[in-house]
Amino acid sequence: MRKYTAVLFPDAEGGYTVVIPALPGCITEGDTVEEAMAMAKEAIELYVESSVAHGEEVQEESIPPVIATVEVRVPSKERVS
């Protein structure tokens, strides 16, 4: 068994997009958090199956990514030239 970090982004239209940082291009979505996580599990399993079938190394997440919030100042439109 392996564990992978799933990052969920709320979509403006509803639902969630899920990215698996350790597996490039492994992205899915779901209408609820529960559905998005179920879809993420399926996407990871398919990604791993495909890697094995193509003789590629299965990526591991040895160190989980750090997810942090960065605060920046956005200039007003009046000051932007």
Domain boundaries, the chain: 7-79
pLDDT tens digits, 8-52 = 999 999 999 999 999 999 999 999 999 999 999 999 999 999 999
CATH architecture of 7-79: 2-Layer Sandwich (3.30)
Say what the pLDDT of residue 81 is. 55
Question: Hey, how many other C-beta atoms are within 10 angstroms of the C-beta on 67?
Answer: 8
pLDDT at 77: 82
Q: Shortest CA distance to 44 belongs to which of 27, 61, 57, 29?
A: 27
pLDDT at 11: 96
**Prediction pTM value:** 0.81
Q: What are phi and psi of 52, to 5 degrees?
A: -65, -45
pLDDT at 80 over 60: no
Alpha helices in 1-81 (DSSP H): 33-53
Mean pLDDT of the chain: 93
